[in-house]
Amino acid sequence: MNIVIAIAAILISAFVGFGFFKAGSFKAKSSEAVLLSAGFGWVEKAGMPLVRVIAWLELLGAVGIVVAPLAAIFLPGFEWALVWGIAAAAGLALTMVVAFVMHAVRGEAKYTWKSNLQLFAAAVAAGLLQAVISLPVF
């Protein structure tokens, strides 16, 4: 395993994990009124149960994208954990695709496309780097 690629995978995974952990914890802890006042207009139609599901999926993805590569790199016998990190990265990237579609439908994409694209690209990069460090060395 190339140490530079492993460090890059951990750093990008930490960036993505932090972003999604922050977003997920805000959605998990906030009331509907707080979310609406913060500009989350979609909450009104989606309902709080769906908001909570999205929050927990973001939190689980954030933990998975960070903990899995750390376990695979630093704990002997845990190389299999990279599969979970790659799956978490794919799930978080898919979350950003759905978020962009939802914002486009609501006419908000012109305000949110940059952050959606940044988090999507970072999640894809983290997943690809984790996939590269899981390849056997020849």
Question: Digits of tens for pLDDT over the chain (138 positions)?
Answer: 578 888 898 999 999 999 999 999 999 999 999 999 988 888 888 889 999 999 999 999 999 999 998 998 888 888 888 899 999 999 999 999 999 998 899 888 888 899 899 999 999 999 999 998 877 654
Total domain count, the chain:
1
- Expressed as residue numbers, the domain containing 61 is 3-134
Express as a percent the part of the chain with pLDDT over 70: 97
B/e letters for 22-61, b = 16+ CB within 10 Å, e = fewer, are ebbeebeebeeeebeeeebebbeeeeeeebeebbebbbeb
